[in-house]
Amino acid sequence: MNKQERVIFIINTLKKLYPTIPIPLDHKDPYTLLIAVLLSAQCTDIQVNKITPLLFAKADNPFDMIKMSVEEIKEIIRPCGLSPMKSKGIHGLSHILIDKHGGKVPQSFEFLEELPAVGHKTASVVMSQAFGVPAFPVDTHIHRLMYRWNLTNGKNVVQTEKDAKRLFPEAIWNDLHLQIIWYGREYSPARGWDLDQDIITKTIGRKTVIDTYYKK
C-alpha cells in the first residue's frame, strides 16, 4: 500500500472498532476538562478519574479553587504525581482565568498556552474536546503508533503532530486522535504488545518495527 492507501485503511479500521468514542477523562465543562488534562501529565487517565471527583467536590470552578491553598490542592492530587508543579499550575491558572477571562476558559490556543502548566498538547485537548475546534493532540500512544505505522519519523511530538495533520482530513481530527489513543491502549501498547492482535500494524506497519518484533 502507498501512504494514502494506508491512511484510508487506518481511518476505516478505526471507524469499525470505535463507532462511538468515549472521552478518556471525566469532566463536565471546559474548566474541569482543563484541570483533568493538566493532571494527566505522566499519570494514567484511570488514576486522574479517581482523583478529580475528590478535587472537584471542593472546587469545580476557578472561584472556589483559589479559595484553597496550593498546599491543600497538592495533598489531594498527590497520587497523580508532579503534585508540587501541578498544584501551583492549577492555583495560578485559576487566578488568571478570573483576572483576565471572567472565570471562563478561553477558546484560544494562544490564551490557553499562556496559562501556567498548560502546554500545547493540553491546549489542543481542551480546544478539540471542550470547544470542537479541529486539533490533533499527540500523546505517547499517537506518537508510538504514527511511527509504527510508518507515517512519521517519530523524532519528536511536534513533527508527529505536523505529519498527522498533513495526512488526515481536518474534519476527522477530533475523533481520530481519540480513536488512535484507544487503539494504542487496547491493541498496540508499548509493553505486552501482541502483534497478532494489532491488525493495523500487522497490515501496514513499518517493516523494521515488525522485523524487530519477530526477532524478539
In angstroms, rounded to a whole number, what is the distance separating the alpha carbons of residues 95 and 22? Answer: 31
Report whether 5 contacts 200 (CB < 8 A).
no
In angstroms, rounded to a whole number, what is the distance separating the alpha carbons of residues 94 and 58? Answer: 14
What is each CA distance from 59 to 16, 64, 149, 157, in whole angstroms?
39, 5, 42, 33
Q: Is 88 a catalytic residue?
A: no
Using CB atoms within 10 Å of the CB of residue 85, give its burial: 0 to 12 exposed, 13 to 18 middle, 19+ buried: middle
Measured over all CA atoms, what is the biggest interatomic distance in the chain, rounded to whole angstroms?
58
In angstroms, rounded to a whole number, what is the distance separating the alpha carbons of residues 14 and 182? Answer: 9
Catalytic pick from 45, 74, 86, 121? 121
How many beta carbons lie within 10 A of that of residue 112, not counting itself? 22
Report whether 200 contacts 10 (CB < 8 A).
yes
Return the DSSP state at 79.
G
- Residue 193 is placed in which grid cell? 504488545
Q: Is 15 a catalytic residue?
A: no
Catalytic pick from 139, 163, 194, 207? 139
Tell me the catalytic residues: 121, 139
